[in-house]
Structure 1
Amino acid sequence: MKITVSNWFKSGSPWVWLNAGAVAVSVVMVLGLLALIAVRGLGHFWPTAIVAADYTIPGNSQVQVMGQIADVEEIPAQRLVDAGLPKPGNKALIDRQLIKVGNRDVSGSDFVWVVKPWLQNVSHPKDAIALERREWGNFYGFLKDVRQNGSVVASGTEAWAALQDSIERAEDIYSQIYKIEKKEIGHINSGLERLRLKERSLELKGTNTPEALADIAASRAVLDAEYKVLEKELGDLYAAFTRDSIQAQTIDNNIVDINVSKIVRAYQPNAMGFFGKVGFYGDKIWEFVSDDPREANTEGGIFPAIFGTVMMVIIMSIIVTPFGVIAAVYLREYAKQGFVTRVIRVAVNNLAGVPSIVYGVFGLGFFVYFLGSHMDQLFFPEALPSPTFGTPGLLWASITLALLTLPVVIVATEEGLSRIPSTVREGSLALGATKAETLWRVVLPMASPAMMTGLILAVARAAGEVAPLMLVGVVKLAPSLPLDGNYPFLHLDQKFMHLGFHIYDVGFQSPNVEAARPLVYATALLLVIVIAVLNLSAVAIRNHLREKYKALEI
């Protein structure tokens, strides 16, 4: 057979190659995007060298700068000329560097842009130190001495080892303080609040008898006594926590006193070997995924956001799956196929295209202000006027996203039900099973892979949503997790943090843009990983179900 262009097109080969090329380009673009996010985000945690140099702007006095190079970019030399500065050299493009100089409590700024040709006497001092602090960002300088209660205990070459010991001691005390404040005192405060609400409830019901009030007073006295013990222990810990301090010197010879209780980590990147840097890098990555945020979310970790995202997705999945399956079963198995059913299907498909912010406004108006306020009046009158469920929280955020993803689950489940041969249903009915038994024992198990497909699509969309969550429960910083050891353990009324909103907040609302930029990439990468893990878990379950019921489909 003679092969011609016309026959080649008729064979469909061009479209096969076109589709394959489109898929290949899409895969390359996705991998490239993930690589960019990974490099920009994960590179932030590597301990780069500390640079010290003299910086002279022509026509101005010379200043000394010290810090870590955060970014390098090329700018047109004409930009300097337009600013009234001389052009360095004859190049049309010149390099400028963004240096993280830290020392915000001394200089007032974390970062500074410098023109590279104007840097002179560049060096990398081996004894330069970087201090990560709980407040005021990083400090860069030189360690002078370590003190206890104001008295010098180590200086010179011995100061560095003494500082590491002091930081380790302070971190141990900080862990004890954190445990007492967040867990033990938090448990007592929760108990006191429950007693207050119980007392208020008795008052509203008119059953606040002396005996009942005496029981509440006795329970409150026990909690107060426990609190006083913890308060004394906490005072002793704080006194020991603030015992040690250091004196450090900046590059421009300013002497700074820093309490060790304010230091999270101290390191000398110029003196670290490769394996030392790898160990430091691993510690920073672990801190990022397991610690609480600090410094307006520009330092520390994002564990509360990870926890909140996963918790919300799980609750959303528990809500949306049964409702989506029930709706699909009714439309496919019970509803009379006619005009009304077709209209309902069209409406369901159209709901999938409604902007997510519309769902957020609906959730705020109906779930929070209407349903939540009525729940407070019916079930929590003792807490009023402080709202319990009449305010944005985890429950309303989960239900709002369940409503948003409901059309996806309905469509996927209905398609799965339609693929099940009618002979399977007829065979079950012929053996004496009722329609309900056929549906529950035969049809739904065979359609379970399609249900999981709908759930996968729902999770993929819900986990990355931000706009509706800003209205129905997500906050910049949550003081505690929605799941803890205090009754009722799972706090559905509590506001929570979310990775998607965290990206928005750090990227667009942070007062320290340069410090926040790397964390935007790192958090975005982590959000992709969380969504991938959730989806892969659902895919594994779907594949298991598909293999289990494959024989019934043949």
Structure 2
Amino acid sequence: MFEQDKKISLRQWFKDGEAFIWLNAAAVSVSVVAVIGLLLLLAVRGFGHFWPADIMQADYQLPNSAAIRVIGEVVESEQVPVEQIRGAGFAIAGNQPFVKRSLIKQGNRDVTGLDFAWVLNDYLSNISYPETLMAVERYEWGNFYGYLTGLKQAGEPVAQADDKTLWQDFEQRIQRAAGLHEQIKQIEKSDIGKVNYQLERLRLQERGLELNRSLSASKRAQQKSDIALERAALDSHYQVLQAQLLALYEQVNRDSFTAETMGGEQVEIPLAHVVHAYQPNAMNVIDKSWAYALKFWEFLTDEPREANTEGGIFPAIFGTIMMVLLMSVMVTPFGVIAAVYLREYAKQGPLTRTVRIAVNNLAGVPSIVYGVFGLGFFIYFIGAELDQIFFQNALPAPTFGTPGLLWASLTLALLTLPVVIVSTEEGLSRIPKALREGSLALGATKAETLWRVVLPMASPAMMTGLILAVARAAGEVAPLMLVGVVKLAPSLPLDANYPYLHLDQKFMHLGFHIFDVGFQSPNVEAARPLVYATALLLVVIIALLNFSAVALRNHLREKYKSLEM
């Protein structure tokens, strides 16, 4: 009797739908836990990279081998089977099934040839963390680890009273070199960049005069004379900037430092190659927190270097946001217009249903197909025609007939257009017919009803479509590889030169940056933390863009809620 009642109760539980409620709740819970776990993994593996880790010094001696000194950061440790180690040619004593090994970031790639090395923990001895060990972040060759032994100015040693005074002088000279680097960067990228832009503009004007056969000889000669005078002034200004640049390079190359590596070698490194230097073993938590904040800020605001495995990712952040904003501006009006026509004006019949089916099918087309279409139609066809009509002076060098920001934004706008159309049309279909009839009864035209009543009430649905479009477009990589994104483009498509926003310029993208650093990097171990950090940053940017759109949608929904009741 009890078993029968239990079966009836279980059958009733499924019949009432409670089983599906619990199933949905479990699915949502698993999804939330998975997302939170993924974000935590990205945060720990990525953002932990910027914390100044202590530097270990130890003696390392394998059986039947000479002892060597090891200096570096312990990146990770793992247990591996002994047979695997023996198979690699190491003579491991004992009968233990597993041995522990650690990955040491030893730096000094210009000296040892490798940034990282695996060591067996059982053969490490005399492990210590001397406070005088330093880590030097460089523009090239990665980090340097060792002991500071001296400073040189113009090739002559600089006398120091003690190690503390030596380190303070070292930091001051690094700050001096950093200030000179900023001046050099200002002249190279801003001042000389403006001169080069003006010289290129004059070259195109001169080229235009050669192509323009309608000008008289005297007028052409006069314009060429004006161009020559302007070019002479620019050349003179360029020479002044070049002289300033050479003087700054002489100043920044004045100082150098000598250091001792883990092998006991003495090396001399110019301070012009140094980004930062610190002694993490002598730093407290506050000092490390400050260093962490500085390194993380540089990661967000600096340009990449060392094949994208060092430096920052600001050009990729800027390119991603700029592309998404342009895509949003392009896709929203076209998507809304198409949805309004299909719902409000088109005669509902087989043709309209066929168009809706085609729109829905477009949403499932692989993104790489859109990239091929954008390359063939936008770049090779439209871009080439624009060059022939408006940029003949620059030919055969293409202006818009090459991948760039405009074509990437248009391609992603085309990719996300079906999402906006479907969402907007769904919003239009939910607006009560009585509101339209009431507006028409009060004397409004159909266009006025659409503009003042229907579209404002459907704006939350439009925002929903835009949110979905932004979420998909910001993470797309495959089509962008064909229509504008590149591995390295430190020059931003927005600057002080007319027309200020250069839609023809190639750009960097966070999604492609993750692919390039993670799978194309020559230094996988050094690039791995940056992959995690960049991936989390991409998720955060997409979330911020979506939250902004959601806030606007909720505001519009509250604003027009009373009209729906």
TM-score, reference length from structure 1: 0.98
> Does structure 1 retain, via aligned residues, the 8 Å contact 2:136–2:143?
yes
Distance 1:4-1:479 versus aligned 2 partners, 3 A rule: closer
User: What amino acid does structure 2 have at the position aligned with 1:147?
Assistant: K
Q: Match for residue 43 of structure 1?
A: 48
Q: Match for residue 100 of structure 1?
A: 105
> Does structure 2 retain, via aligned residues, the 8 Å contact 1:146–1:153?
yes
Q: Distance in 2 between matches of 1:354 and 1:88?
A: 59
Q: Match for residue 53 of structure 1?
A: 58
Deviation at 1:295, TM superposition (A): 0.7
Q: Distance in 2 between matches of 1:434 and 1:94?
A: 82
Q: Match for residue 69 of structure 1?
A: 74
Q: Distance in 2 between matches of 1:427 and 1:115?
A: 82
Q: Match for residue 338 of structure 1?
A: 349
Q: For residues 325-361 of structure 1, what are the alpha-carbon distances to aligned partners after superposition, in whole Å with 9 as ceiling and x for unaligned?
A: 0000000000110101111100100000000001111
User: What amino acid does structure 1 have at the position aligned with 2:23?
Assistant: L
Matches within 5 A, 1:195-206: 195-206=202-213
Distance 1:151-1:119 versus aligned 2 partners, 3 A rule: same
Select which of 510, 518, 524 maps to 1:499. Answer: 510
Q: Match for residue 11 of structure 1?
A: 16
> Does structure 2 retain, via aligned residues, the 8 Å contact 1:154–1:162?
no
Q: Distance in 2 between matches of 1:89 and 1:502?
A: 46
Q: Match for residue 131 of structure 1?
A: 136
Deviation at 1:154, TM superposition (A): 3.9
Q: Distance in 1 between matches of 2:445 and 2:123?
A: 86
Q: For residues 422-461 of structure 1, what are the alpha-carbon distances to aligned partners after superposition, in whole Å with 9 as ceiling and x for unaligned?
A: 1111111111111111111110010000000000000000
Select which of 452, 462, 465 maps to 1:454. Answer: 465
Q: Is 1:177 paired with 2:188?
A: no
54-63 or 242-251: bigger deviation: 54-63
Select which of 476, 483, 487 maps to 1:465. Answer: 476
Select which of 298, 313, 320 maps to 1:309. Answer: 320
Q: Match for residue 369 of structure 1?
A: 380
148-157 or 184-193: bigger deviation: 148-157
Deviation at 1:397, TM superposition (A): 0.4
Select which of 81, 85, 90 maps to 2:90. Answer: 85
Q: Which runs of 5+ in 1 are unaligned?
A: none
Q: Match for residue 389 of structure 2?
A: 378
> Does structure 1 retain, via aligned residues, the 8 Å contact 2:303–2:490?
no
User: What amino acid does structure 1 have at the position aligned with 2:66?
Assistant: S
Deviation at 1:88, TM superposition (A): 4.4
Distance 1:88-1:322 versus aligned 2 partners, 3 A rule: farther
Deviation at 1:253, TM superposition (A): 1.2
Q: Match for residue 298 of structure 1?
A: 309
Deviation at 1:413, TM superposition (A): 0.4
Q: Distance in 2 between matches of 1:228 and 1:327?
A: 56
Q: Distance in 1 between matches of 2:379 and 2:284?
A: 55
Q: Distance in 2 between matches of 1:185 and 1:83?
A: 54
For residue 130 of structure 1, give the secondary structure of its aligned residue in structure 2.
strand
Deviation at 1:183, TM superposition (A): 0.6
Distance 1:105-1:84 versus aligned 2 partners, 3 A rule: closer
RMSD of equivalent CA atoms = 1.3
Q: Match for residue 550 of structure 1?
A: 561
For residue 101 of structure 2, give the secondary structure of its aligned residue in structure 1.
strand
For residue 324 of structure 1, give the secondary structure of its aligned residue in structure 2.
helix
Matches within 5 A, 1:138-153: 138-153=143-158
Q: Distance in 1 between matches of 2:470 and 2:98?
A: 47
Q: Is 1:166 paired with 2:173?
A: yes
For residue 502 of structure 2, give the secondary structure of its aligned residue in structure 1.
coil
Distance 1:154-1:431 versus aligned 2 partners, 3 A rule: farther
Q: Is 1:191 paired with 2:198?
A: yes
Q: For residues 294-342 of structure 1, what are the alpha-carbon distances to aligned partners after superposition, in whole Å with 9 as ceiling and x for unaligned?
A: 1110011000000000000000000000000000000000011010111
Q: Match for residue 532 of structure 2?
A: 521
TM-score, reference length from structure 2: 0.96
For residue 505 of structure 2, give the secondary structure of its aligned residue in structure 1.
coil
Matches within 5 A, 1:379-398: 379-398=390-409
Deviation at 1:227, TM superposition (A): 1.0
> Does structure 2 retain, via aligned residues, the 8 Å contact 1:456–1:535?
yes
For residue 453 of structure 2, give the secondary structure of its aligned residue in structure 1.
helix
Q: For residues 445-480 of structure 1, what are the alpha-carbon distances to aligned partners after superposition, in whole Å with 9 as ceiling and x for unaligned?
A: 100000000000000000000000000000000040
For residue 466 of structure 1, give the secondary structure of its aligned residue in structure 2.
coil
Identity %: 65
Q: Which runs of 5+ in 2 are unaligned?
A: none
Q: Match for residue 273 of structure 1?
A: 284
Q: Distance in 2 between matches of 1:535 and 1:489?
A: 27
> Does structure 1 retain, via aligned residues, the 8 Å contact 2:315–2:490?
no
Q: Distance in 2 between matches of 1:406 and 1:89?
A: 66
Deviation at 1:82, TM superposition (A): 2.4
For residue 209 of structure 1, give the secondary structure of its aligned residue in structure 2.
helix
Q: Match for residue 364 of structure 2?
A: 353
User: What amino acid does structure 1 have at the position aligned with 2:523?
Assistant: N
> Does structure 2 retain, via aligned residues, the 8 Å contact 1:48–1:68?
yes
Q: Match for residue 423 of structure 1?
A: 434
* Number of residue equivalences: 554
Q: For residues 490-538 of structure 1, what are the alpha-carbon distances to aligned partners after superposition, in whole Å with 9 as ceiling and x for unaligned?
A: 0000000000000000000000011001100000000000100111111
Q: Distance in 2 between matches of 1:4 and 1:52?
A: 68
User: What amino acid does structure 2 have at the position aligned with 1:423?
Assistant: A
> Does structure 1 retain, via aligned residues, the 8 Å contact 2:379–2:402?
yes
